[in-house]
């Protein structure tokens, strides 16, 4: 092979190594670095393709951010959230999924009837926290 044909050879084999692009979008089903809707907590992501979902995973949050009305799916996995105040979800009456796995929640720090107000709640994931008994009351 001559030096003149080396660039052509490199271009041809580069397609072999760059065939798949596994980026962050493949991990979550959305691009966490892509544009977010205007109605979203600044520290979270509300993808344009899922405007009723708010992703706040893996942000080392200690409190639940203000959740805008219209959010139906709230993801708060893998944070350091320790408590839930009674008025936390007053603004999100349409919330259907609340994912709180892998935080530092304790029963004594979940105030009042915070979950019973969520009349449309279908899924509550609250595994891998510091809970000693079931949370409730639920809707």
Alpha-carbon span 55 to 36, nearest angstrom: 10
Name the H helices within 6-139.
Answer: 6-17, 24-28
Q: Residues 75-115: pLDDT tens digits?
A: 999 999 999 999 999 989 899 999 999 999 999 999 888 99
Give the chain's radius of gyration (CA, Å).
Answer: 21
Cβ-based neighbour number of residue 69 at 10 Å: 11
Strands (E), the chain: 53-55, 73-75, 97-99, 123-125
The two structure tokens encoding residue 118 = 């969520």
What is the CA 123 to chain-centroid distance, rounded? 14
**Cis peptide bond upstream of 137, omega within 30:** yes
- More confident position, 16 or 7: 7
Q: Residues 12-64: pLDDT tens digits?
A: 444 444 443 333 444 444 455 455 666 899 999 999 999 899 999 999 999 99
The two structure tokens encoding residue 38 = 């205007």
Residue 46: per-residue pLDDT: 94
For the entire predicted model, the pTM comes to 0.73
Alpha-carbon span 128 to 130, nearest angstrom: 7
């Amino acid at each position: 092979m001559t030096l003149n044909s080396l660039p052509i050879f490199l271009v041809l084999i580069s397609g072999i190594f760059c065939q798949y692009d596994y980026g962050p979008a493949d991990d979550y089903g959305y691009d966490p670095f892509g544009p977010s809707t205007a109605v979203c907590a600044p520290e979270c992501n509300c993808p344009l393709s899922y405007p009723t979902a708010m992703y706040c995973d893996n942000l080392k949050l200690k409190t639940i951010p203000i959740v805008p009305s219209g959010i139906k799916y709230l993801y708060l996995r893998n944070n350091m959230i320790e408590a839930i105040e009674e008025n936390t979800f007053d603004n999100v009456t349409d919330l259907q999924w609340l994912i709180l796995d892998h935080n530092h929640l304790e029963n004594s720090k979940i105030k009042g009837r915070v979950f019973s107000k969520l009349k449309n709640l279908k899924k509550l994931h609250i595994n891998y926290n510091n809970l000693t008994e079931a949370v409730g009351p639920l809707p």
